[in-house]
Amino acid sequence: MKNSVDRDLPEDVMKDLNYQPFESTEIGHPEIQRVAPKVHVSTGDDKVVTSIKAVVKDTLKDGMTISFHHHFRNGDFVFNEVMREIIDAGYKDLTLAPSSLTGVMNDMVIEAIKAGTITHITSSGMRGSLGDFVSHGGLKNPVIFRSHGNRARAIEHGDIKIDVAFLGVPNADALGNANGMAGDAVFGSLGYALMDAQYADKVVLLTDNIVKYPNTPASIKQTQVDYVVRVDKVGDPDKIGSGATRFTKDPKELKIASTVNDVIVNSPYFKDGFSFQTGSGGAALAVTRYLRQAMIDNKIKASFALGGITKPTTDLLAEGLVDKVMDVQDFDKGAADSMHTNANQQEIDASWYADPDNKGAMVDQLDVVILSALEIDTKFNVNVMSGSDGVIRGAIGGHQDAATAKLTIISAPLVRGRIATIVPDVTTVVTPGDSVDVLVTEYGIAINPKRQDLVKSLSNLPGVPVYTIDELQQLAEKKVGKPKPLEFTDRTVAMIEYRDGSIIDTIKEVKD
């Protein structure tokens, strides 16, 4: 069975898991029925407990689905503390459904898989030892990878039915009113966790900071919370995000960033009231700085900036160059602090951000997005999930979702070391070429031929050579040589969903 991006999908697995092959980036206007969680009625007087073990015992049964958020990133203490209790209590056959998995969780997840505690995983991504473990066939059932918007969709549909959500927060009152902005381990927006708080049958907050009732602003509300567990420390503030984001000095990244800026400024979308999203990579951050100057020079202001937010973006907000920041997560402390102090930085949940099955998501209103790529192929398909060795080492994040913007720019170097970024066929298709408009490299740009309007507006920019994507691919191959094709077994270790829940690609077990 092949899908519309020409990927061969394993018929038995597709049938077992009841999946449809990916067809189109168009979502259309279907009518959707959302699900609702069970409510265990209470006046809320006895929510505070001190033992994770007791809460696990009260809430969890074999075969259930548990969830966590990844807003603490590599500073997370909550995941490992809760999983320790769950493994030690001998639970079996759980589905792990976090918003994503960060490196600090890897060893615990591997232990839980080996113990039979976790038998199914759905996540935005995984890296390091866990990606390696799964790519070598360590988990029997294929991992389901979903974008942030698609996770929200799947939760609302009931495709992911969370029985118990364990959500770490830097503050909460005794009834469970909580936010991500005050306390020791602050991370700003609770965007991804808000889905779990709204849809899980049981919501367990874990905090090291129980504050006076009622706690406001309340991102997670007492109406959603079953337990508030007091723990010693929810996270390590130094590892949640870098304190100050440094501006890259790498000339290659700067060249790419200034070219991205040229593309944006000369596109039809660069006008007063435009909107944009940038990632957190070195080049993306540098783009923000070039864009700031271009906005000042042309007397243009943006109506909103979207997505994962960094300090360079909140600086634009403070300067009045951006009217609103729509914030689903914060990548550094500066951005998290700004959410606390600036009323124009609005916390949004993952559904509002990017769920396709919606009455309008923020990404549907987005003009310009700058995204990265591990690989991009001559059909403009992008891989952000598997490394050049075929091993899982990435995350979809909001890539598929934000790529639906009116102008989707992929910024990537032509080669990284000896690995070509532009290839004849990506190892894993994550974002279909149909939603990608311009590729920017340090050598020049390639414009998706289906965007003849952009070909017209971007073809004669001084200092911005335009190539076909095939020419850029050949240039890369000439530099690094032709790699030996990767070898995989027939076994499927992961399914990549498109944001509508269809299958865009699969990942096979690597052969070593």
Partner 1 sequence: MEIKETAVAGTLESSDIQIMISKAADGIQIDLQSDVEKQFGDQIRSVITTTLNEMGVTAAKVKAVDKGALDCVIKARAIAAVQRASQTTDQPAWEVL
Which residues are at the interface with partner 1 (CB under 8 A)?
388-390, 416-419, 479-481, 483-484, 486-487
CB of 486 to partner 1, least distance (A): 6
> What dihedral angle (degrees, nearest 10) is formed by the CA atoms of 119, 122, 123, 129?
30
Whether cis (ω within 30° of 0) applies to the bond prior to 217 is yes
Cα–Cα distances in angstroms (integers) from residue 127 to residues 65, 107, 151, 322, in the given order: 22, 11, 19, 34
* Residue 30 or 417 having the CB closest to partner 1: 417
Q: Which amino acid is at 94?
A: L
CB of 389 to partner 1, least distance (A): 5
* Residue 420 or 503 having the CB closest to partner 1: 420
- Please give the backbone phi and psi of residue 346, each rounded to the nearest 5 degrees, phi first: -95, 125
* CA-based nearest residue to 202, from 89, 34, 38: 38
* Residue 239 or 252 having the CB closest to partner 1: 252
Measured CA to CA, the distance from residue 251 to residue 359 in angstroms comes to: 43
Measured CA to CA, the distance from residue 278 to residue 288 in angstroms comes to: 8
* Residue 318 or 486 having the CB closest to partner 1: 486
CB of 300 to partner 1, least distance (A): 38
Residue identified by tokens 């900036």 is: 305
Cα–Cα distances in angstroms (integers) from residue 194 to residues 53, 278, 292, in the given order: 24, 22, 31
Measured CA to CA, the distance from residue 180 to residue 425 in angstroms comes to: 41
Residue identified by tokens 């699969």 is: 506
Q: Name residues whose C-beta falls within 8 Å of residue 440's C-beta, 6 or more positions apart in sequence.
A: 256, 259, 260, 263, 409, 410, 411, 412
Please check whether residue 246 is in contact with residue 220, taking contact to mean a CB–CB distance below 8 angstroms. no
* Residue 247 or 488 having the CB closest to partner 1: 488
CB atoms within 10 A of CB 66: 27
* Residue 299 or 484 having the CB closest to partner 1: 484
* Residue 48 or 486 having the CB closest to partner 1: 486
CB of 416 to partner 1, least distance (A): 8
Helix or strand (DSSP H, E) at 473: helix 469-480
CB of 472 to partner 1, least distance (A): 18
Please check whether residue 188 is in contact with residue 329, taking contact to mean a CB–CB distance below 8 angstroms. yes
* CA-based nearest residue to 263, from 438, 435, 473: 438
CB of 491 to partner 1, least distance (A): 18
CB of 390 to partner 1, least distance (A): 8
* Residue 8 or 389 having the CB closest to partner 1: 389
DSSP secondary structure of 316-358: HHHHTSEEEEEEEEESBHHHHHHHHH-TTEEE--HHHHH-SSS
* Residue 376 or 415 having the CB closest to partner 1: 415
- Sheet of 422-423: strand order equals 382-383, 375-377, 422-423
* Residue 158 or 483 having the CB closest to partner 1: 483
CB of 310 to partner 1, least distance (A): 25
CB of 479 to partner 1, least distance (A): 7
CB of 388 to partner 1, least distance (A): 6
CB of 86 to partner 1, least distance (A): 36
* Residue 57 or 416 having the CB closest to partner 1: 416
Q: Name residues whose C-beta falls within 8 Å of residue 107's C-beta, 6 or more positions apart in sequence.
A: 129
